[in-house]
Amino acid sequence: MTFLSSKTPAGILALILRVVLGVIFLYAAWIKLREPWALFAMAIDSYQVLPAWAVELVARALPWFELLLGVLLVAGVWRHVPAAAASLLLAVFFGLMVRAMAKGMEIDCGCFGPGDRLSWVTLLRDGALLASSLFVTARAFRQRDWNRSQAA
């Protein structure tokens, strides 16, 4: 099972992508946490998918969740769990962005603080992050399964 080794090109790529994803999540969290939470709430509310109470909850909690994900991804702790969570989160973001673009909404992406307008560029950026995260997740699960089979 050398293809799962982190010394293979795919393994090195997965390692790099995991750390890059982690740093991006840390950056996204830092940007949101240094500013009033209501600015992020405004961006979430602009997507018009959640009631006000849920908007406030997400605006207050999501940056901390992103911070936790970033730390776990960079540290490489329980690799498959944060990788799967990151993929799920990015898939939700991507879906919301596609929906907003399809509806012609002229709104902020909300990804990296205020002023980040939703556009094809932000969509491509999020799509690339999602693809990277899915690759890292698949790798992490295969690694976990392989480790289990070796232990058995």
Partner 1 sequence: MKLLIAALAILLPVLAAAPDTIHGNAFGDPKAPILIEVFSDFQCPGCKRFHDEDLPLIVKDYVAPGKAYLVYRYFPLAMHPYGRKAAELVCACAQLGKYEQAADILFARQSAWSQDGKLDETLAAVLTPAERQKVATLIGSPSVQKPIDSDMAEGAALGVKGTPTVLVTYKSRRYPLVGEGLFNYRWIKATLDDFLK
- Which value, in Å, is the radius of gyration of the alpha carbons in the chain? 17
Of 27, 30, 37, 141, the one binding partner 1 by CB under 8 A: 37
Residue from 28, 45, 66, 97 binding partner 1 (CB under 8 A): 45
Q: Does 41 bind partner 1 (CB under 8 A)?
A: yes
Rule CB under 8 A: say whether 96 interacts with partner 1: no
Structure tokens at 37: 């939470």
User: 135 and 16 in contact (C-beta within 8 Å)?
Assistant: no
Q: Taking CB under 8 A as the rule, does residue 89 contact partner 1? A: no
Strand, helix or coil for residue 41? helix
Residue 97 near residue 109 (C-beta atoms within 8 A): yes
Among 5, 6, 8, 48, binds partner 1 (CB under 8 A): 48
Contact 55, 44 (CB under 8 A): yes
Helix (H, G, I), strand (E, B) or coil at 117: strand
35 contributes a contact to partner 1 by CB under 8 A: yes
- Per CB under 8 A, 111 contacts partner 1: no
Site membership for partner 1, residue 117 (CB under 8 A): yes
SS (H, E, C) 38-63: HHHHHHHHHCCCCCHHHHHHHHHHHH
Between 91 and 105, name the residue whose CB sits nearer to partner 1: 105
- Report the C-alpha gap between 63 and 69 in whole angstroms: 10
According to CB under 8 A, which one of 3, 8, 36, 61 is a site residue for partner 1? 36
Nearer to partner 1, 52 or 151 (CB): 52
Q: Which spans of this chain sit near partner 1 (rule: CB under 8 A)?
A: 35-39, 41-46, 48, 52, 105-108, 114-115, 117
